[in-house]
Structure 1
């Protein structure tokens, strides 16, 4: 019998926490993890095992996977959820912040896959759920660094799905749209880290404002709670043949399809109508 133990990264709040709670309630053996261990202590009361895991730290990732593997035989399901959004005009984002974005959203995700795959291959069963975003299919001004990280997650997942399918491992992309969490606040706050001066000052302020508005204004009606993503993940794990991609919320379906059908020049004009054009 293969191990079906679930390891989830980034469970301190939002999608990760909701997923841990939902899967535990459904009978999965869940190992909920977070960089700050104290933020997930209460998940033990909801049926989860809890571990410290920092996806930017090699020793931390190795230790978490080893703990689950020793207890369960292997990690059967990996949910790569840890991530955040760095906003701001590309030129204005400090290169160290770009690296930090990719360390968390991309390199940590890749390394977690590398660490769990030997056990999955050995037992000929496993599922990897990579939390991408509608931002891995569309690009908004002021989000270039974040979008680049999620486009990378999409590409990695597409390649990985082909490479490990023959070993009995499914790779599933989940693409949330607007989700009511502190994610939007974090994204808006990250713009402030790029500085308040320079040629992009007004643009960056507008990006922060539009980001906050997206999560609190009329557009938020097309969003949903973290539990909507958790339900999608649970349904995908229960499927005999999960789909490669699962957009979540009306905003994701609407914007992904709109971008797919919109020529580049028309999309650019639409963005200019929504955002101030730097330099003009």
Structure 2
């Protein structure tokens, strides 16, 4: 792919978004890096990216970005829906508002952004691609991450449907399912854990908090992950699924091979739930 190709990535202030933007710049792409606070993207700007403000939960922000790109008439060859976060904690402790926000950001927003940028993607067809950053957590659910796992499972399903619906228009859709990737994801998730007073899970509070950091144990360096991801997305006909990162294959195979009761028991023991049995 040539230097005239353009990628737009959401959630570029850190983690996979920032690293992928930097990797595509190194490979000669024109990169539009977005974040709620574009001033945090200075390092990417210095490397050649264009920083633009985008709050994926704000319809007006999405519309403003789309209007700017539409006015410029710039074809969009790659859209990476990366912005998102992890809401951790027991489902019985999670407020309905927190659950709705998790689904809004991780499920509704990627569709809304893709809808808004569809004209620019069509302008790049048949070389256009939409990549959704899901997670192996959307394949194998774990305790104390129900909201996050549900959001990624829903995103995977939406991506499957979108892949079929956009194929007639020359737009490919790729589902990305990272395993553990070195990032600030665990720290950010730990700060959001809801453990109210009187929680049934108070006796294992440390285990609840530990779930937020679980992906960081033995995690794959983010630069290694995005090198492989960039190479995949730059193919003329990228495959519909890209799965990589620590434990990505293992978690999927555990789900497929183990009886449900066996997997439940292993995960319950790992996160301390067996200690709550009277």
Q: TM-score, normalised by structure 2?
A: 0.92
Structure 2 regions of 5+ residues with no counterpart? Answer: none
The alpha-carbon distance between structure 1 residues 250 and 41, as it changes in their structure 2 partners (threshold 3 A), is closer
Q: Aligned partners of 2:228, 2:111: CA distance in 1, in Å?
A: 22
1:243 — aligned with what? 239
Contact 2:25–2:48 (Cα < 8 Å) also in 1: yes
The CA RMSD measured in Å over matched residues stands at 1.9
Equivalent residue, structure 2, for 1:146: 148
Please give the per-residue CA displacement for 1:211-264, whole angstroms capped at 9, x wherever unaligned: 33552xxxx23x212223322331122212211111111411111122111121
Q: Does 1:168 align with 2:164?
A: no
Tell me which stretches of 4 or more aligned residues in structure 1 moved more than 6 Å. Answer: none
How far apart, in 2, do the equivalents of 1:167 and 1:214 lie?
37
CA contact (8 A) 1:228 1:248 kept: no
| Corresponding residue for residue 183 of structure 2 | 181
Q: Which residue of 2 aligns with 1:267?
A: 263
Q: Deviation at 1:36?
A: 1.4
Deviations 1:146-195 (A, max 9, x none): 0000001100000111111121111011111111110011122221x342
Aligned pairs for 1:12-161 within 5 A: 12-125=13-126, 126-161=128-163
**1: CA distance between counterparts of 2:40 and 2:16?**
14
SS in structure 2 of the partner of residue 82 of structure 1: coil
> 1: distance between equivalents of 2:205 and 2:141?
16
Secondary structure of the 2:173 match is strand
1:181 and 1:27 map into 2 onto residues whose CA distance is 25
Per the alignment, in what secondary structure is the counterpart of residue 83 of structure 1? coil
Q: Distance in 2 between matches of 1:59 and 1:211?
A: 32
Q: For the Cα contact (< 8 Å) 1:87–1:144, is it kept in 2?
A: yes
Partner of 2:80, secondary structure, is strand
Q: 2:227 matched to which residue of 1?
A: 231
Give the distance between the partners of 2:230 and 2:73, measured in 1 at CA: 20
Given that residues 69 and 75 in structure 1 are in contact (C-alpha distance below 8 angstroms), is that contact kept between their aligned partners in structure 2?
A: no
The alignment partner of 1:172 has SS state of strand
Q: Distance in 2 between matches of 1:240 and 1:129?
A: 14
